[in-house]
Structure 1
Amino acid sequence: MNNATSCKMPDILKTTDGKERRVGVEIELSGLGYEQLVSIVAELLDGTPTLESRYVSKLQTSMGDFIIELDSEQVKEFDLTDDRVPEVLRELGGQAMEVIDAAAERIVPLEIVSPPLPFSEIQQIEYLVKELREAGALGSREAIYFAFGLQLNPELPDLTPATLIRYFQAFAVLYDWLKAHHQLDISRKFTPYIEPWSSRYTDLLVTEGYSPDQHQMMVDYLESNPTRNRALDLLPLFAHLDKPLLDQYVKDPRIKSRPTLHYRLPDCDIDNPEWNFSSVWNDWVVVEQIANNADDLAELRALFRESRKISLRNLTHSWQETSAKWLQSKGYV
């Protein structure tokens, strides 16, 4: 990771209807108690917290409502009066809850979920991350069982198949570069959450002249990737576009319909002073820039297709290396 602290902006800042594009951010971390985290974020963002339910707080701010929660449905919904709870725990009552809560806050990530933020306000997340680091927040490298992520949900200029395919193609050819550039912690590398799209689908996606309609675009993806566990998860977007078609391939109550991409690849290395939110964001901006430069996208796709062929050069040079050099030569990084 570089030490960039300024969040760059992509070329396309507005949707086709003239509104500023927005992005949702999800940050997983540990090292702070739940109530401590709520208090710190409320102070940093000048917000008013309201406890919505066990381990779920809504923070009203000038930027919209943030949600701060413990990322475990089982812990959030745990009820000592439930007959399924062992009798010994029910008898301990409040003491049992204190032990369970203390253990959960050490192992289960706490999560900050932002409202959709205008691109022009994304720098506020950089400020928030740095202040949380100073307060003692911990990220993925702190323990082998931590696999904390930092997720982006960027709104696109429009949702036409042509636009979506450009973004899909840009991400597919940059996946290896992104994964190497994020320097993923070992705990994240061994999780299934950040898998690439299937090779079969990627090869189809970068084919010269690939231009499906919406239905075919979804079918092509879902036949090879019927899962949430992808570094760029398209299921929330597809739930927004055509839920009945998505349901033919995947039925999962965790899929939330939204007109955005769901970028899950980066880890949250918040306690590393060399790591910055802006570095993650700026890497995504490279995807944005490639997706909206037709000539460069076509050139990179052609190079990617060539890299899939059997040749002496491809045996001695990785696609990650080739794409990194290409990005440098073009001035993207």
Structure 2
Amino acid sequence: MLSRVANSIYWLNRYVERAENVARFVDVNLNLLLDSPGVIQQWQPIVITTGDLPLFQQRYGEVTEANVIQFLTFDRDYPNSILSCLRLARENARSIREIISSEMWEQVNSFYLMVKDVANSGLKTSELPEFFEKVKMGGHLFSGIMDATMSHNEAWHFGRMGRFLERSDKTSRILDVKYYILLPSIKDIGTPLDEVQWMALLKSASAYEMYRKRQQHRITPNGIVEFLILDREFPRSIQYCLSATERSLYQIIGVTQGMKKHPVEKVLGRLCSELDYLTIEEITHTGLHEFLDNLQTRINQTGEKIFETFFELQPIEEQRLNNYQL
């Protein structure tokens, strides 16, 4: 497969998944507002977890609900806004029309146009929950269409690898939102407000019902953290997403799992192995934020190694040397 094609389908999936998860970031606060009227909303944590707070402050200055929603949702010049992500997804899909199914193209195209129309017409605050629900459903629909209409070949595995690597990163950042919300109000830990905030986080990750079925007890911070990080069956948990990424990686490389020859195999394999044996007690001992910060760094390193292994153009002599070493 051409590296250009692999790169495009990988990023097509990453951008669609990113758009969906940005909607989930904002949903953390919107759910909290709906579940606990009168609670002071904190919008800065949402921007902090994107890693783009300096850019936001440069562009918008004051952290307000309107500014944060505009920045994360409709800002055409911010590359990680929902609108920008879907525009980039659409451009990648356009470049590989001969590889993807017509249904995939139609979905990503209509998805982008829907968000673009809303950006041009504007939204009332009361209409935001419904809009973000449409964005999340648009992401689900694209994933389902890809899995149902595209041959599960090498190209599909590149797309799947991009989707799950992006999802693992964003699940960690959704958890980090809770950490930052707690910073100014440590006294609230263990109170009914604290439980409402954790419930809002679960709902934003589409995990509330599955968590209750899995845990079968009251909501606890450790139970939620363990579920969203270490659960092997929930498709939005970090453990599940990284394991799915690794499985697709081995399908692409075409070697037996455990025979690590490429740097990306080593980086991702080490991370998955550590998660296999990690316990919630070890995460708590390390500190949730510190653990998540390190995890995000290592997920980014995995993305860099994927780029170096599959997408980066190498001089012909270097390619020959690498092939000889293999």
TM-based fold match above 0.5? no
Greater Rg by CA:
1
Structure with the higher helix share, 1 or 2: 2
TM-score (norm 1): 0.30
Structure with the higher strand share, 1 or 2: 1
TM-score (norm 2): 0.30
